[in-house]
């Protein structure tokens, strides 16, 4: 007989229960489970209930006996009807029982966007589904949802993140549908001038940066940046690496919310209201890290091949550089030209630190050469020119 399927991964045994389990077949199923598990002792036992249609008390008793042997027994992928049985019988309080992700089909749904990590479909009049490609892990997807949720609760304008769903073999996230245009679209179509967009982008950036975040709620960007620097230990002259390492270490630990990937394609406007999207890079830290990501979007990533600004943001290289400069002047309003220029260099150093690591890792020295040269040119010069990488934000 073959009532169950079984897998063993990292010494966690998973039993897949299928169909109806009642008193007529329960003894056979239990026998098969016991034979499958044999005398081997696994670290954990998981029951996958995705294909379970019904379970009677005879079936529940099998689970109870398994639980005695495996106190951390977990039941996953539980369909709603089966969950009700576990809930009614008190099983849901006795053990970890995870409901199955709702199944969505995007057949016939309008494709409204395609990005690096997935596609976005309009699902109904109020929601969209972001379907992730196979490279996104469930943890990444849950993290993006969780970051968006935390931001929303802290009052940052963003779309409501609903649940994580299953779309065929892939995972998706359901978000509120925004009837909105991105800042990039408004700028390129001429509906808004660059100055208007810069003003709104800076105002929103300041609102985000003025939002304090409690310890442990979001990743601390300085830790991530120290990881970039650590990678460069073998790729930069010793003295240069040490100076960079010290300067990143010296950036004070501040608790401002940062978007982490702040550019005109990630800000939308709906009925005059400005909203933020793509929240997976949300983090906390000193705003210089945000300015570094802004530098990268408009200048850093496009510095070796200027056509990337056009492909990515829809802006000519000159406009992209102009946008960054206007953004910095508006963000740092009230400071002297020299000060703004210096903070720009600090943003460039942090930006190129990230780019250098990423380019070496992804493309290697040969294929990544043009961008690696640009990064080195900037780092070699500014690291010794600067005393620190932070500035007084004036935010409490």
Partner 1 sequence: MMIRKSLENDVLTVFLSGRLDTSNSAEFDSAVRESVDSVNEVVLDMRGLEYTSSSGLRVILALHKLMDAKGGKLVLRNVNSYIMEIFDVTGFSDILTIEQ
Q: Write out the residues near partner 1 by the rule CB under 8 A.
A: 126, 149-150, 152-153, 155, 157-163, 176, 179, 270-271, 273, 275
Rounded Cα gap, residues 113 and 205, in angstroms: 24
DSSP state for residue 282 in the 8-state scheme: -
Residues 165-198 as b or e (16 or more Cβ within 10 Å = b): bebeebbbbbbebbebebbbbbbeeeebeeeebb
Cα 331 from chain centre? 25
Nearer of residues 81 and 126 to partner 1, judged by Cβ: 126
Angle of helix 369-385 versus helix 238-249 axis, rounded to 10:
70
Rounded Cα gap, residues 191 and 167, in angstroms: 36
CB of 8 to partner 1, least distance (A): 34
Nearer of residues 116 and 153 to partner 1, judged by Cβ: 153
Nearer of residues 176 and 240 to partner 1, judged by Cβ: 176
CB of 211 to partner 1, least distance (A): 12
Nearer of residues 159 and 360 to partner 1, judged by Cβ: 159
Residues 24-34 as b or e (16 or more Cβ within 10 Å = b): ebbeebbebbe
CB of 16 to partner 1, least distance (A): 28
CB of 107 to partner 1, least distance (A): 25
CB of 239 to partner 1, least distance (A): 48
Instruction: Identify the three-state secondary structure at position 27.
Output: helix
CB of 111 to partner 1, least distance (A): 22
CB of 58 to partner 1, least distance (A): 34
Query: Can you say whether residue 166 is alpha, beta or left, with left for phi > 0 and alpha for psi between -120 and 50 degrees?
Result: beta
Q: Look up residue 100 and give its two tokens.
A: 């199955």
Nearer of residues 157 and 212 to partner 1, judged by Cβ: 157
Q: Look up residue 387 and give its two tokens.
A: 């005393």
Nearer of residues 15 and 159 to partner 1, judged by Cβ: 159
CB of 271 to partner 1, least distance (A): 5
Considering just the CA atoms, what is the radius of gyration of the chain in Å?
26
Q: Phi, psi (5° rounding) for residue 164?
A: -85, 135
Nearer of residues 124 and 373 to partner 1, judged by Cβ: 124
Nearer of residues 12 and 127 to partner 1, judged by Cβ: 127
Q: Look up residue 261 and give its two tokens.
A: 């990937």
Rounded Cα gap, residues 21 and 27, in angstroms: 10
């Amino acid at each position: 007989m073959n009532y169950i399927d079984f897998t063993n991964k990292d010494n966690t045994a998973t039993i897949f229960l299928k169909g109806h389990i009642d008193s007529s077949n329960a003894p056979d199923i239990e026998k098969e489970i016991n034979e499958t598990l044999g005398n081997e002792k696994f670290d954990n036992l998981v029951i996958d209930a995705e294909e379970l249609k019904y379970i009677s008390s005879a079936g529940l008793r099998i689970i109870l006996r398994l639980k005695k042997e495996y106190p951390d027994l977990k039941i996953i992928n539980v369909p709603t009807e089966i969950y009700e049985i576990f809930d009614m019988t008190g099983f849901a309080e006795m053990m970890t029982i995870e409901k199955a992700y709702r199944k969505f089909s995007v057949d016939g749904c309008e494709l409204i966007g395609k990005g690096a990590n997935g596609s976005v479909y309009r699902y109904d009049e109020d929601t969209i589904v972001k379907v992730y490609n196979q490279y996104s892990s469930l943890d990444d997807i849950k993290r993006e949802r969780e970051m968006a949720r935390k931001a929303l609760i802290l009052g940052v304008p963003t779309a409501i993140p609903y649940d994580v769903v299953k779309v065929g073999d892939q995972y998706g996230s359901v978000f509120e549908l925004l009837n909105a245009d991105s800042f990039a679209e408004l700028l390129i179509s001429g509906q808004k001038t660059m100055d208007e967009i810069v003003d709104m982008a800076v105002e929103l950036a300041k609102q985000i940066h003025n939002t304090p975040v409690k310890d442990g709620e979001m990743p601390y960007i300085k830790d991530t940046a120290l990881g970039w620097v650590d990678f460069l230990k073998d790729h930069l002259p010793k003295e240069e690496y040490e100076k960079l390492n010290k300067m990143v270490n010296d950036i004070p630990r501040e608790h401002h919310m940062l978007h982490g990937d702040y550019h005109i394609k990630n800000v939308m406007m709906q009925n005059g209201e400005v909203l933020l999207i793509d929240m997976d890079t949300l983090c906390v830290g000193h705003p210089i890290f945000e300015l570094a990501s802004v530098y990268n979007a408009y200048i850093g990533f496009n510095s070796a091949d200027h056509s990337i600004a056009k492909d990515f943001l829809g802006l000519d290289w000159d406009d992209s550089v102009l946008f960054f400069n206007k953004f910095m002047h508006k963000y740092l309003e009230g400071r002297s030209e020299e000060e703004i220029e210096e903070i720009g260099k600090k943003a460039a150093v942090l930006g190129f630190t990230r780019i250098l690591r990423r380019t070496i890792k992804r493309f290697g020295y040969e294929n990544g050469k043009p961008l690696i040269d640009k990064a080195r040119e900037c780092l070699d010069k500014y690291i010794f020119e600067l005393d620190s990488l932070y500035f007084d934000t004036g935010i409490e």
